[in-house]
Structure 1
Amino acid sequence: MSGPRVPRNSYAIYRAVNRIFKGISSPPQGDYHEVVRYMNEELPRFEQANSSYLVLGSYRGAYGQRLREFANCLNMPTNAESIVLGDTINLDTAVVPEFDIKINLLGEAADYIAGVYEKESGGESPELGVVRALFVNKTFVFPRDYTGLTRDSLETREDVIQAALAVYYADFDHLDNEHSVAEKKKEEIASLLTVAQEEGIDINERELTDLIKERQNNIDEPPAEYSWVHLSFFKRFEAMTQCHPWTTMPELRDHADEMPGPERPQWETEFDVGMFCDE
């Protein structure tokens, strides 16, 4: 009769468990059982994958839908597995915080971590701080509407897009009627394009209009705002080439390919629907 199977990432799990109970002199036996239960429930999926991903972000409402859509993109290759932290089982502990157990075990067990960010408030803020401190080298961040630390001028194509979105979603409450608001926005965006051309930024009116319409159709929200702390974290990951900003859902889905790991299925690019059509 064989003994218990040792997980392939046992050393990482030991590190996680040591952190979970660090500083707690005598945790209740039930807390130990909950840690083991979580390991048995959630970690086997990572064990069976060649590339595993822990996905962090906002887990509710439209934010959660977009987060899970991104996680599904990571799951496309048959030998890849992604887990959204907010979708894992709930734990009943007396002393050890549930979040400590989840972020430490999943963060250590995953090959890579992906954080999708769209706002500065909520539980994603402490998560970002933890992965920056413990797992920075294997973490990739995907902040919506991020263009770098605050800038006063247009330097890149992304700067122009974000400035145009800010104009499009501005209230302009001081104007009298809807026509005046539309005309004002049109003038502001035309001015942006003039400055962009003067700066040698490659974007034209048709592209900018299409991007605004696409944004309106799938994420009809003003540009995301972040605290100075968030921006500093994003800047750190940007310096490590591990930060990938996005504006629309198609861009976020495409960014799944920026994560290390197996390639997407060949049929996505090689499938020819014409082979099933009658000639």
Structure 2
Amino acid sequence: MSGPRVPQNANAIYRAVNRIFEGIEVPQRDWQEVIRYMNEELPRFEQADTSYLVLGSYRGQYGHRLREFANCLNMPTNSESIVLGDTLDLDTAVIPEFDIKINLLGEFADSIAGVYEKEGGGESPELGVCRSLFARKTFVFPRDYTGLTRDSLETREDVIQAALSVYYTDFDNIDEKNREQEKKKRELASLITAAQREGIHITERELTDIIKERTASVDEEPAVYSWVHLSFFKRWEAMGQCHPWTTLDELRDLADEMPGPVRPRWETEFDIDAFLDE
């Protein structure tokens, strides 16, 4: 049996471990946990030609959509994505578990993808670490993001977000519901008129279909973010590394915006007529 070998990207691991232990004294158990995590999780990245760390919300429907996106990244057989929240749990006395995971996986991955749908939870710390350490290889995918401040209709996405805000307006009773439905119809019609006046071409049918698709795949009110989130998104937007989405299908398609191997597109590679008898 061959002896231990030097892992790939040994310099990256050295940088990550230095950050993890910087300035603190830890018991032997913490060292052992870091080594255990490296031995369990990093070989998956070593064996792939292209590796991705996927960040975001890991529970409920948020987690479902996050993993759908990760699966799309895995479609090329020579790529590997790891969802941070799905990795090995650690039992440390001093070093926070998140600190170990984000430093090792973030340093070792070729690219980092953050899928965001809300302002609560651990998303802000993740964004802060990525902005500080891994900005150039991080790509963010915020649901319903249209910019830092937008007071008027400037793009098709603005119109869609405004329409969703109208659609998800709350009402308390049946009478109010009926009145609100009529009010919503009028507001959506007014919105389309205003959009067309601004040179944004979208029809009532298109807007209705988009809302139906959205409620079928992501039945959520428009996402709201803190100014901290928005500032981070704006930074990556300026770098060309921010890709907003509205529906699950859009999120799946945006996996192609990540660097790495191209996913197979069988419908463009083959002519079905070539497989049919004349």
Q: Tell me whether 259-268 or 173-182 shows the greater mean CA deviation.
A: 173-182
User: In structure 2, what is the Cα distance between the partners aligned to 1:228 and 1:35?
Assistant: 34
Question: In the alignment, what sits opposite 1:78?
Answer: 77
Partner of residue 138, structure 2? 139
Q: Which residue is 1:4 aligned to?
A: 4
- The equivalent residue for 1:112 is 111
Deviation readout 1:201-234 (Å, 9 max, x if unpaired): 1211111110000011111111000001100000
Aligned residues: 278
Determine the structure 2 residue equivalent to 1:47: 46
Aligned partner of 1:91 in structure 2 is 90
1:104-253 paired onto structure 2 within 5 Å: 104-173=103-172, 176-253=175-252
Partners in 1 of 2:193 and 2:266 — Cα distance? 42
Match of 1:20 in 2: 20
Q: Which 5+ residue runs of structure 2 have no aligned equivalent?
A: none
Question: 1:167–1:185: 8 Å Cα contact kept in structure 2?
Answer: yes
Paired with 2:198 and 2:174, the residues of 1 have a C-alpha distance of: 30
Corresponding residue for 2:264? Answer: 265
Q: Is the 8 A contact 1:175 1:181 kept in 2?
A: no
Change (3 A) 1:53 1:268: farther
In structure 2, distance between residues paired with 1:4 and 1:90: 25
SS of 2:131 mapped into structure 1: helix
Once the two structures are superposed, residues 73-107 of structure 1 have per-residue CA deviations (whole angstroms, 9 ceiling, x without a partner) of 00000010000000000011111111110000000
TM value normalised by structure 1: 0.95
C-alpha distance in 1 between matches for 2:175 and 2:277? 58
Query: What residue ranges of structure 1 are gaps of 5+ in the alignment?
Result: none
The alignment's C-alpha RMSD in Å is 1.8
Residue deviations 1:155-204 (CA, integer Å, cap 9, x gap): 00000000000000011559943322111001101111111101001211
CA–CA distance in 2 between the matches of 1:265 and 1:194? 40
Given the superposition, is the C-alpha separation of residues 184 and 278 from structure 1 closer, same or farther in structure 2, using an over 3 Å criterion?
farther
The ranges of structure 1 where at least 4 consecutive aligned residues each deviate by more than 6 angstroms after the TM superposition are 273-279
Task: Give, in whole Å, the separation in 1 of the partners of 2:265 and 2:257.
Answer: 17
- Identity, % of aligned pairs? 78
Q: Retained in 1: the 8 A contact 2:116–2:140?
A: yes
Q: Compute the displacement of 1:242 (Å).
A: 0.3
* Partner Cα distance (1:79, 1:88) in 2: 20
Change (3 A) 1:162 1:80: same
SS in 1 for 2:191: helix
Tell me which residue corresponds to 1:57. Answer: 56
In structure 2, C-alpha distance between the alignment counterparts of 1:217 and 1:120, rounded to whole Å: 23
Which amino acid is the alignment partner of residue 241 of structure 1?
G
1:8-65, CA deviations, whole angstroms, 9 ceiling, x for partnerless residues?
21101100000000011x3111111111110010000100111100000000000000
Contact 1:166 1:223 in 2 (8 A): yes
Shift of 1:274: 6.7
In 2, Cα distance between equivalents of 1:268 and 1:62: 30
**What is the distance in 1 between the residues matched to 2:232 and 2:106?**
18
Distance 1:174 1:148, change over 3 A: farther
Distance between the aligned counterparts of 2:73 and 2:273, measured in 1? 27
